[in-house]
Amino acid sequence: MKKGILCIVLFVFSFNLYAALGVSDSILKQRVTILNLIADLQFKDSTDVLNGSFPSYRKYYFSSKLKQEDNVFFSSLVLFNIGQFSSQMHPDELAILDKAKANALVFIDRFKNKNNQLTYNFWPRNPPQIFPNGGWLNLLNKNAALADDIDDGAITLLALGVNDFTAKAMQSKFGEYRVGLIKPNKSFYKAFKNRPVYSTWLGTKMPKDVDLSVLTNVVLMHTMAKIPLNATDSASLDLIVDLVKANKHITDPTYVSQHYANSATILYHIARLAYYSDYPALLALKPILLEQALALLKKSKYPLEQLLLNTSVLRLGGKIDFPFEVNEASLKANNYPYFVANIASALNNPFKRIVNRSNIVRFDFYSYTFNLSLMYENLMLRGIDGIWITSRWSVIF
Protein backbone atom coordinates (compact mmCIF):
# COMPACT_ATOMS: atom_id res chain seq x y z
CA MET A 1 0.00 0.00 0.00
CA LYS A 2 2.78 2.38 0.98
CA LYS A 3 4.69 1.55 -2.22
CA GLY A 4 1.57 2.32 -4.24
CA ILE A 5 1.13 5.71 -2.60
CA LEU A 6 4.82 6.46 -3.11
CA CYS A 7 4.51 5.59 -6.80
CA ILE A 8 1.52 7.90 -7.17
CA VAL A 9 3.38 10.75 -5.42
CA LEU A 10 6.43 10.24 -7.63
CA PHE A 11 4.25 10.13 -10.73
CA VAL A 12 2.45 13.36 -9.80
CA PHE A 13 5.76 15.07 -8.97
CA SER A 14 7.31 13.95 -12.25
CA PHE A 15 4.27 15.06 -14.21
CA ASN A 16 4.25 18.50 -12.59
CA LEU A 17 7.99 18.89 -13.13
CA TYR A 18 7.62 17.92 -16.79
CA ALA A 19 4.70 20.36 -17.19
CA ALA A 20 6.65 23.17 -15.50
CA LEU A 21 9.64 22.59 -17.76
CA GLY A 22 7.35 22.63 -20.77
CA VAL A 23 5.79 25.92 -19.73
CA SER A 24 9.21 27.40 -18.98
CA ASP A 25 10.48 26.36 -22.41
CA SER A 26 7.39 27.89 -24.04
CA ILE A 27 7.92 31.20 -22.26
CA LEU A 28 11.60 31.27 -23.28
CA LYS A 29 10.67 30.71 -26.92
CA GLN A 30 8.16 33.56 -26.76
CA ARG A 31 10.69 35.86 -25.13
CA VAL A 32 13.31 35.10 -27.78
CA THR A 33 10.71 35.66 -30.49
CA ILE A 34 9.91 39.10 -29.08
CA LEU A 35 13.60 40.00 -28.81
CA ASN A 36 14.18 38.98 -32.41
CA LEU A 37 11.26 41.15 -33.51
CA ILE A 38 12.78 44.07 -31.61
CA ALA A 39 16.24 43.45 -33.07
CA ASP A 40 14.82 43.34 -36.59
CA LEU A 41 13.20 46.75 -36.08
CA GLN A 42 16.45 48.46 -35.04
CA PHE A 43 17.73 50.79 -37.79
CA LYS A 44 20.87 49.36 -39.39
CA ASP A 45 21.59 51.66 -42.35
CA SER A 46 25.05 53.04 -41.60
CA THR A 47 24.37 56.14 -43.74
CA ASP A 48 21.31 57.18 -41.72
CA VAL A 49 21.47 59.31 -38.58
CA LEU A 50 18.89 56.96 -37.06
CA ASN A 51 21.26 54.02 -37.33
CA GLY A 52 21.14 52.03 -34.09
CA SER A 53 17.86 53.54 -32.89
CA PHE A 54 14.45 51.96 -32.54
CA PRO A 55 11.68 53.66 -34.54
CA SER A 56 9.24 56.03 -32.89
CA TYR A 57 6.69 58.50 -34.18
CA ARG A 58 4.80 61.56 -33.07
CA LYS A 59 1.37 62.89 -33.97
CA TYR A 60 -0.11 66.32 -33.43
CA TYR A 61 -3.13 65.85 -31.18
CA PHE A 62 -5.61 67.19 -33.75
CA SER A 63 -4.07 65.34 -36.69
CA SER A 64 -3.89 61.74 -37.88
CA LYS A 65 -0.50 62.09 -39.57
CA LEU A 66 2.49 60.34 -37.99
CA LYS A 67 5.99 61.78 -38.34
CA GLN A 68 9.17 59.84 -37.75
CA GLU A 69 11.06 60.87 -34.63
CA ASP A 70 14.74 61.24 -33.78
CA ASN A 71 14.85 61.03 -29.99
CA VAL A 72 16.88 59.17 -27.38
CA PHE A 73 13.83 58.49 -25.22
CA PHE A 74 12.30 55.40 -26.81
CA SER A 75 15.56 53.74 -27.81
CA SER A 76 16.82 54.05 -24.25
CA LEU A 77 13.52 52.77 -22.86
CA VAL A 78 13.64 49.70 -25.07
CA LEU A 79 17.16 48.85 -23.92
CA PHE A 80 16.28 49.43 -20.28
CA ASN A 81 13.05 47.43 -20.39
CA ILE A 82 15.01 44.46 -21.68
CA GLY A 83 18.28 45.05 -19.85
CA GLN A 84 16.81 45.28 -16.36
CA PHE A 85 16.50 41.49 -16.52
CA SER A 86 20.00 40.76 -17.82
CA SER A 87 20.96 38.69 -14.78
CA GLN A 88 17.95 36.38 -15.34
CA MET A 89 18.35 36.06 -19.10
CA HIS A 90 19.09 32.93 -21.08
CA PRO A 91 22.37 33.24 -23.04
CA ASP A 92 20.40 33.48 -26.31
CA GLU A 93 18.50 36.48 -24.95
CA LEU A 94 21.61 38.13 -23.57
CA ALA A 95 23.34 37.87 -26.94
CA ILE A 96 20.47 39.75 -28.61
CA LEU A 97 20.53 42.45 -25.94
CA ASP A 98 24.30 42.94 -26.12
CA LYS A 99 24.20 43.30 -29.89
CA ALA A 100 21.30 45.77 -29.79
CA LYS A 101 23.04 47.87 -27.14
CA ALA A 102 26.31 47.91 -29.07
CA ASN A 103 24.46 49.01 -32.21
CA ALA A 104 22.79 51.87 -30.31
CA LEU A 105 25.85 53.45 -28.67
CA VAL A 106 26.77 55.85 -31.49
CA PHE A 107 23.14 56.93 -31.88
CA ILE A 108 22.71 57.62 -28.15
CA ASP A 109 25.93 59.66 -28.08
CA ARG A 110 24.30 62.26 -30.35
CA PHE A 111 22.08 63.29 -27.44
CA LYS A 112 24.79 63.66 -24.82
CA ASN A 113 25.84 67.05 -23.49
CA LYS A 114 29.41 67.46 -24.74
CA ASN A 115 30.12 70.21 -22.22
CA ASN A 116 29.45 68.33 -19.00
CA GLN A 117 29.77 64.82 -20.53
CA LEU A 118 26.94 63.67 -18.32
CA THR A 119 23.36 64.73 -19.14
CA TYR A 120 21.17 63.97 -22.15
CA ASN A 121 18.59 65.76 -24.26
CA PHE A 122 15.34 64.35 -25.65
CA TRP A 123 16.33 65.51 -29.14
CA PRO A 124 19.81 65.67 -30.74
CA ARG A 125 22.26 68.13 -29.18
CA ASN A 126 24.94 68.16 -31.84
CA PRO A 127 23.70 70.36 -33.46
CA PRO A 128 20.66 71.29 -31.31
CA GLN A 129 17.36 70.27 -32.82
CA ILE A 130 13.70 70.32 -31.86
CA PHE A 131 10.86 68.52 -33.59
CA PRO A 132 12.84 66.51 -36.17
CA ASN A 133 10.96 66.57 -39.48
CA GLY A 134 8.98 69.44 -37.99
CA GLY A 135 8.90 71.76 -40.99
CA TRP A 136 8.78 75.42 -39.95
CA LEU A 137 9.29 74.43 -36.31
CA ASN A 138 12.91 73.62 -37.13
CA LEU A 139 13.52 77.35 -37.63
CA LEU A 140 13.48 77.53 -33.84
CA ASN A 141 16.31 75.03 -33.40
CA LYS A 142 19.05 77.53 -32.56
CA ASN A 143 17.11 79.73 -30.17
CA ALA A 144 14.46 77.45 -28.67
CA ALA A 145 16.11 74.07 -28.31
CA LEU A 146 15.05 72.35 -25.12
CA ALA A 147 17.36 72.09 -22.15
CA ASP A 148 18.62 68.69 -21.08
CA ASP A 149 16.23 66.95 -18.72
CA ILE A 150 16.39 64.55 -15.80
CA ASP A 151 13.99 62.03 -17.36
CA ASP A 152 16.10 61.29 -20.43
CA GLY A 153 19.25 61.40 -18.30
CA ALA A 154 17.94 58.80 -15.86
CA ILE A 155 16.44 56.51 -18.51
CA THR A 156 19.53 56.63 -20.73
CA LEU A 157 21.84 55.83 -17.84
CA LEU A 158 19.59 52.89 -16.91
CA ALA A 159 19.73 51.72 -20.52
CA LEU A 160 23.53 51.93 -20.81
CA GLY A 161 24.12 50.24 -17.46
CA VAL A 162 24.05 52.31 -14.33
CA ASN A 163 27.10 52.48 -12.04
CA ASP A 164 27.47 54.24 -8.73
CA PHE A 165 30.12 56.75 -9.86
CA THR A 166 28.11 58.11 -12.80
CA ALA A 167 24.85 57.90 -10.86
CA LYS A 168 26.29 60.01 -8.04
CA ALA A 169 27.57 62.61 -10.50
CA MET A 170 24.19 62.77 -12.22
CA GLN A 171 22.41 62.91 -8.85
CA SER A 172 24.50 65.96 -7.96
CA LYS A 173 23.86 67.61 -11.34
CA PHE A 174 20.11 67.03 -11.06
CA GLY A 175 20.13 68.53 -7.57
CA GLU A 176 21.55 71.80 -8.87
CA TYR A 177 18.21 72.55 -10.53
CA ARG A 178 15.80 71.32 -7.85
CA VAL A 179 12.74 73.27 -6.82
CA GLY A 180 13.69 76.11 -4.47
CA LEU A 181 16.97 76.89 -6.21
CA ILE A 182 17.37 79.59 -8.88
CA LYS A 183 13.63 80.22 -9.20
CA PRO A 184 10.36 79.22 -7.46
CA ASN A 185 7.87 76.65 -8.68
CA LYS A 186 4.83 78.42 -10.14
CA SER A 187 3.39 75.53 -12.13
CA PHE A 188 2.24 72.98 -9.56
CA TYR A 189 -0.32 72.53 -6.81
CA LYS A 190 -0.12 75.26 -4.19
CA ALA A 191 -0.02 72.71 -1.38
CA PHE A 192 3.09 71.05 -2.85
CA LYS A 193 4.81 73.82 -4.81
CA ASN A 194 7.57 74.44 -2.25
CA ARG A 195 8.71 70.83 -1.92
CA PRO A 196 12.50 70.70 -2.62
CA VAL A 197 12.15 67.98 -5.28
CA TYR A 198 13.79 67.42 -8.66
CA SER A 199 12.66 69.70 -11.48
CA THR A 200 12.44 68.18 -14.95
CA TRP A 201 14.55 70.69 -16.88
CA LEU A 202 18.27 71.27 -16.41
CA GLY A 203 18.39 74.88 -17.53
CA THR A 204 18.23 78.26 -15.81
CA LYS A 205 15.89 79.68 -18.47
CA MET A 206 13.40 76.83 -18.12
CA PRO A 207 10.54 77.03 -15.61
CA LYS A 208 10.32 74.65 -12.69
CA ASP A 209 8.45 71.57 -13.83
CA VAL A 210 7.44 68.77 -11.46
CA ASP A 211 6.17 65.49 -12.95
CA LEU A 212 5.27 62.50 -10.78
CA SER A 213 6.36 59.89 -13.35
CA VAL A 214 9.64 61.68 -14.04
CA LEU A 215 10.40 61.69 -10.32
CA THR A 216 9.88 57.91 -10.18
CA ASN A 217 12.37 57.42 -13.03
CA VAL A 218 15.06 59.49 -11.32
CA VAL A 219 14.68 57.80 -7.94
CA LEU A 220 14.58 54.43 -9.74
CA MET A 221 17.95 55.19 -11.35
CA HIS A 222 19.46 56.07 -7.98
CA THR A 223 17.91 52.98 -6.39
CA MET A 224 19.16 50.58 -9.06
CA ALA A 225 22.62 52.18 -8.88
CA LYS A 226 22.59 51.42 -5.15
CA ILE A 227 23.76 54.92 -4.20
CA PRO A 228 22.64 56.63 -0.96
CA LEU A 229 19.45 58.61 -1.44
CA ASN A 230 19.94 62.27 -0.54
CA ALA A 231 17.52 64.88 0.78
CA THR A 232 16.16 65.65 -2.69
CA ASP A 233 15.49 61.97 -3.31
CA SER A 234 13.65 61.69 0.02
CA ALA A 235 11.64 64.82 -0.71
CA SER A 236 10.75 63.44 -4.14
CA LEU A 237 9.67 60.09 -2.66
CA ASP A 238 7.56 61.86 -0.05
CA LEU A 239 5.89 63.93 -2.76
CA ILE A 240 5.15 60.79 -4.79
CA VAL A 241 3.55 59.22 -1.71
CA ASP A 242 1.51 62.32 -0.90
CA LEU A 243 0.26 62.70 -4.47
CA VAL A 244 -0.81 59.05 -4.52
CA LYS A 245 -2.58 59.47 -1.18
CA ALA A 246 -4.36 62.51 -2.64
CA ASN A 247 -5.33 60.32 -5.63
CA LYS A 248 -3.95 62.89 -8.08
CA HIS A 249 -2.63 60.20 -10.46
CA ILE A 250 -6.24 59.06 -10.96
CA THR A 251 -8.20 62.32 -10.79
CA ASP A 252 -5.73 64.75 -12.39
CA PRO A 253 -3.26 62.75 -14.55
CA THR A 254 -2.52 65.38 -17.21
CA TYR A 255 -1.50 67.90 -14.55
CA VAL A 256 0.36 65.72 -12.05
CA SER A 257 2.34 64.03 -14.84
CA GLN A 258 2.00 66.13 -17.96
CA HIS A 259 4.70 64.23 -19.85
CA TYR A 260 2.90 60.89 -19.46
CA ALA A 261 -0.65 62.18 -18.98
CA ASN A 262 -2.59 58.92 -18.50
CA SER A 263 -3.45 57.21 -15.21
CA ALA A 264 -2.42 53.74 -16.40
CA THR A 265 1.02 55.00 -17.46
CA ILE A 266 1.56 56.92 -14.23
CA LEU A 267 0.51 53.94 -12.14
CA TYR A 268 2.92 51.76 -14.13
CA HIS A 269 5.77 54.12 -13.16
CA ILE A 270 4.80 54.10 -9.49
CA ALA A 271 4.45 50.31 -9.42
CA ARG A 272 7.86 49.82 -11.04
CA LEU A 273 9.52 52.05 -8.46
CA ALA A 274 7.71 50.25 -5.63
CA TYR A 275 8.97 46.92 -7.02
CA TYR A 276 12.61 47.98 -6.68
CA SER A 277 12.34 50.35 -3.71
CA ASP A 278 12.53 49.67 0.02
CA TYR A 279 11.02 53.04 1.00
CA PRO A 280 8.47 52.13 3.73
CA ALA A 281 5.94 54.86 2.97
CA LEU A 282 5.83 53.87 -0.69
CA LEU A 283 5.63 50.15 0.01
CA ALA A 284 2.70 50.77 2.36
CA LEU A 285 0.71 52.00 -0.64
CA LYS A 286 1.05 48.79 -2.65
CA PRO A 287 -2.37 47.35 -1.62
CA ILE A 288 -4.11 50.58 -2.65
CA LEU A 289 -2.18 50.78 -5.91
CA LEU A 290 -3.04 47.15 -6.66
CA GLU A 291 -6.75 47.85 -6.18
CA GLN A 292 -6.49 50.87 -8.45
CA ALA A 293 -4.68 48.92 -11.18
CA LEU A 294 -7.35 46.21 -11.14
CA ALA A 295 -10.13 48.82 -11.19
CA LEU A 296 -8.55 50.64 -14.15
CA LEU A 297 -8.19 47.34 -15.99
CA LYS A 298 -11.95 46.86 -15.93
CA LYS A 299 -12.37 50.18 -17.75
CA SER A 300 -9.33 50.00 -20.04
CA LYS A 301 -9.93 50.28 -23.78
CA TYR A 302 -6.56 49.92 -25.43
CA PRO A 303 -4.14 46.95 -25.62
CA LEU A 304 -1.12 49.03 -24.52
CA GLU A 305 -3.10 50.44 -21.61
CA GLN A 306 -4.10 46.90 -20.59
CA LEU A 307 -0.49 45.72 -20.81
CA LEU A 308 0.77 48.57 -18.62
CA LEU A 309 -1.86 47.85 -15.98
CA ASN A 310 -1.32 44.09 -16.15
CA THR A 311 2.41 44.57 -15.57
CA SER A 312 1.62 46.95 -12.71
CA VAL A 313 -0.47 44.23 -11.06
CA LEU A 314 2.50 41.86 -11.27
CA ARG A 315 4.89 44.50 -9.92
CA LEU A 316 2.56 45.10 -6.96
CA GLY A 317 2.41 41.43 -6.00
CA GLY A 318 -0.83 40.43 -7.70
CA LYS A 319 -1.43 37.37 -9.86
CA ILE A 320 -3.17 37.82 -13.18
CA ASP A 321 -3.33 36.18 -16.59
CA PHE A 322 -1.76 37.92 -19.53
CA PRO A 323 -4.34 40.31 -21.11
CA PHE A 324 -6.26 38.46 -23.80
CA GLU A 325 -6.45 41.46 -26.15
CA VAL A 326 -2.68 42.05 -26.17
CA ASN A 327 -0.60 40.49 -28.91
CA GLU A 328 2.02 41.38 -31.48
CA ALA A 329 -0.61 42.69 -33.90
CA SER A 330 -2.71 44.72 -31.43
CA LEU A 331 0.36 46.55 -30.11
CA LYS A 332 0.91 48.07 -33.56
CA ALA A 333 -2.09 50.34 -33.09
CA ASN A 334 -1.23 53.94 -32.29
CA ASN A 335 -4.21 54.63 -30.07
CA TYR A 336 -2.66 55.07 -26.63
CA PRO A 337 0.33 57.45 -26.29
CA TYR A 338 2.90 56.42 -23.70
CA PHE A 339 4.57 59.84 -23.85
CA VAL A 340 3.11 63.30 -24.43
CA ALA A 341 4.85 66.56 -25.33
CA ASN A 342 2.80 69.61 -24.40
CA ILE A 343 4.06 73.18 -24.37
CA ALA A 344 1.83 73.66 -21.33
CA SER A 345 4.53 71.96 -19.26
CA ALA A 346 6.71 75.04 -19.78
CA LEU A 347 4.05 77.45 -18.54
CA ASN A 348 3.15 78.77 -15.10
CA ASN A 349 -0.31 78.76 -13.57
CA PRO A 350 -3.02 79.65 -14.50
CA PHE A 351 -1.90 79.44 -18.14
CA LYS A 352 -0.68 75.89 -17.66
CA ARG A 353 -4.18 74.63 -16.82
CA ILE A 354 -5.80 76.52 -19.69
CA VAL A 355 -3.35 75.42 -22.40
CA ASN A 356 -3.17 71.89 -21.01
CA ARG A 357 -6.92 71.41 -21.32
CA SER A 358 -7.04 72.81 -24.85
CA ASN A 359 -4.47 70.30 -26.22
CA ILE A 360 -3.71 72.92 -28.85
CA VAL A 361 0.06 72.39 -28.56
CA ARG A 362 0.09 68.70 -27.66
CA PHE A 363 1.97 65.96 -29.51
CA ASP A 364 1.49 62.26 -28.77
CA PHE A 365 4.38 59.81 -29.18
CA TYR A 366 4.29 56.14 -30.15
CA SER A 367 6.75 53.29 -30.61
CA TYR A 368 5.80 49.77 -31.61
CA THR A 369 9.27 48.52 -30.64
CA PHE A 370 8.83 49.96 -27.17
CA ASN A 371 5.43 48.27 -26.91
CA LEU A 372 7.09 44.94 -27.69
CA SER A 373 9.68 45.58 -24.96
CA LEU A 374 6.80 46.03 -22.51
CA MET A 375 5.48 42.61 -23.52
CA TYR A 376 8.92 41.15 -22.89
CA GLU A 377 9.03 42.82 -19.47
CA ASN A 378 5.69 41.23 -18.56
CA LEU A 379 6.89 37.76 -19.59
CA MET A 380 10.10 38.13 -17.62
CA LEU A 381 8.22 39.12 -14.48
CA ARG A 382 6.08 36.01 -14.79
CA GLY A 383 9.14 33.80 -15.06
CA ILE A 384 10.98 35.48 -12.17
CA ASP A 385 8.03 35.41 -9.80
CA GLY A 386 6.73 32.01 -10.91
CA ILE A 387 3.44 33.39 -12.25
CA TRP A 388 2.93 30.96 -15.08
CA ILE A 389 0.67 31.46 -18.03
CA THR A 390 -2.46 29.76 -19.34
CA SER A 391 -3.25 28.18 -22.69
CA ARG A 392 -4.29 31.55 -24.07
CA TRP A 393 -0.59 32.27 -24.77
CA SER A 394 -1.04 30.48 -28.05
CA VAL A 395 -2.86 33.54 -29.39
CA ILE A 396 0.16 35.84 -29.08
CA PHE A 397 2.15 34.78 -32.13
- Predicted pLDDT of residue 4: 57
Q: In what order do the strands lie in the sheet with 57-60?
A: 66-68, 57-60, 362-366, 339-342
- Predicted pLDDT of residue 134: 61
pLDDT reading at 37 higher than 80: yes
- Predicted pLDDT of residue 66: 96
- Predicted pLDDT of residue 274: 98
pLDDT reading at 114 higher than 70: yes
Mean pLDDT rounded to a whole number for the chain: 89
Q: Would you give the distance in Å from CA 26 to the centre of its chain?
A: 26
Q: Dihedral (C-alpha) 121, 124, 127, 128: value to the nearest 10 degrees?
A: -50
Q: What is the mean pLDDT of residues 26-45?
A: 94
pLDDT reading at 17 higher than 70: no
Per-residue pLDDT of 180-227, as tens digits, reads 998 888 899 999 999 999 999 998 888 889 999 999 999 999 999 999
Gap between the Cα atoms of 119 and 173, Å rounded? 8
Q: What is the mean pLDDT of residues 280-305?
A: 98
Between residues 304 and 128, which one has the greater pLDDT?
Answer: 304
Q: Which of 31-35, 58-62, 139-143 bottoms out in mean pLDDT, i.e. has the lowest?
A: 139-143
Per-residue pLDDT of 251-288, as tens digits, reads 999 999 999 999 999 999 999 999 999 999 999 999 99
- Spatial contact of 59 and 334, defined as CB atoms under 8 Å apart: yes
- Predicted pLDDT of residue 2: 55
Distances in whole angstroms, Cα of residue 397 to Cα of each of 275, 333, 394: 29, 16, 7
Specify the amino acid at residue 16.
N
Distances in whole angstroms, Cα of residue 57 to Cα of each of 227, 266, 344: 35, 21, 20
For the chain, domains (ranges, CATH) are 26-395 (1.50.10)
pTM check: above 0.85: yes
Rg (CA), the chain: 22
What are the residues facing 201 on neighbouring strands? Answer: 149
pLDDT reading at 89 higher than 50: yes
- Predicted pLDDT of residue 144: 57
Q: How would you class 17 by CB atoms within 10 Å of its CB: exposed for 0-12, middle for 13-18, buried for 19 or more? A: exposed
